[in-house]
Amino acid sequence: MSVSLEINLGGLHMKNPVTVASGTFGYGQEYDAYFDVAQLGAVTTKSLTLKPRAGNKPPRLVETPAGMLNAIGLQNVGLEAYLEHKLPFLRQKDVPIIANIYGHGPDEYAELARLLEEKGGADAIEANLSCPNVHDAKSSRGTVLVAQDPELVCAYTKTIRSATSLPLYVKLTPNVATIVEPALAAQEGGADAVSLINTLIGMAIDPETRRPRLANIVGGLSGPCIRPVAVKMVWDAARALDIPVIGMGGICSTEDAVQFFLAGASAVALGSMSFRQPDAAIRVVNGLADYLEGHELSGIAALVGGMAQ
């Protein structure tokens, strides 16, 4: 039986449903020594901003049980250096590029999306409305992550939508009472998919020095410890939405990825696991083909939302 892993993710054709989570895979070249990144369904870039960002002061990283906290603060080379120095490697790889973007206010997101499309720097846009390590969105409730306010999610998504014809994914935060509202708001704003979940906000304190382990005090929790939260949020969102969900959060293995498909994800992304095992994402690609064949399924679609009850 021949299986096909191909999917169409909100208008983006992918040869398999596996990408990488933004910020865990650099701009692709960092992992070139370990496998051919063209074998991935797509490469999702580190968050890009219009101008380069130096990010937060160190220490930026602390290990936690079955996971890690990070507060990188969106350090990145900026759009111009991305187009000039990072894009050529990805383009010669013949792999779809999901450019993750971060802006100050909706217009800057829109400008990034417009420029990326114009310069051929992306095949899809993932708007990071949920970085826990920068704080510059204001709403009637004070300073929040954009993704914590459904009205803002809808407004931002609409503005970005109007600036690009590329498939548009909106990355949401799990730091909310319910994921369904912001997810529906993204859909209403014209998103082609939502990415769930970004990191959970957390912190760690050194009991000896009494100081926070991270210079930023708080950071984003990732790794296998957050997986059950992510699976549940994908399940919640997928049942409420008409657009696809890209599931991520602690995926380490094929079996983990299958959980996300069963919960309703149409595609998955590997995050922190690439730090531990550089070729983890490609292992999941290969593992999914074996899983489908072993279970006599012809494609991923047969799994999506297929949790037995």
SS3 124: strand
Q: Smallest gap, in angstroms, from Cβ of residue 55 to other proteins?
A: 6
- Which CB sits closer to other proteins, 65 or 294? 65
Q: Binding to other proteins (CB under 8 A): which residues in 16-45? A: 23-26, 30-31, 33-34
Beta strand 267-270 pairing with 245-248:
parallel
165 alpha-carbon distance from chain centroid: 20
Mark 174-203 with x for binding to other proteins (rule: CB under 8 A) and - for no binding: ------------------------------
Asked if residue 125 has a cis previous peptide bond (ω within 30° of 0), the answer is no
Q: Are 298 and 3 in contact (CB under 8 A)?
A: yes
d(CA 159, CA 151): 12
Does residue 209 bind other proteins (CB under 8 A)?
Answer: yes
Residue 49 burial (C-beta neighbours within 10 Å; 0-12, 13-18, 19+): buried
Q: Smallest gap, in angstroms, from Cβ of residue 269 to other proteins?
A: 14
Name every residue whose Cβ is closer than 8 Å to that of residue 308 and which is 6 or more positions away in sequence. none
Q: Smallest gap, in angstroms, from Cβ of residue 46 to other proteins?
A: 8
> In this chain, which of 38, 215, 240, 301 binds other proteins, going by CB under 8 A?
215
Phi-psi region of 141 (alpha: psi -120 to 50; beta: other; left: phi over 0): alpha
Q: Binding to other proteins (CB under 8 A): which residues in 265-304? A: 272, 274-279
- Which CB sits closer to other proteins, 61 or 297? 61
- Which CB sits closer to other proteins, 88 or 306? 88
| 154 part of the active site | no
Name every residue whose Cβ is closer than 8 Å to that of residue 239 and which is 6 or more positions away in sequence. 264, 305
**How many positions of this chain bind other proteins (CB under 8 A)?**
42
Q: Binding to other proteins (CB under 8 A): which residues in 50-79? A: 52, 54-55, 57-63, 65-68, 70, 72, 75, 77
Catalytic residue among 131, 154, 225, 252: 131
d(CA 305, CA 299): 13
Catalytic residues: 131
Task: Name the residues that contact other proteins, by CB under 8 A.
Answer: 23-26, 30-31, 33-34, 46, 52, 54-55, 57-63, 65-68, 70, 72, 75, 77, 81, 209, 211, 215, 223-225, 252, 272, 274-279
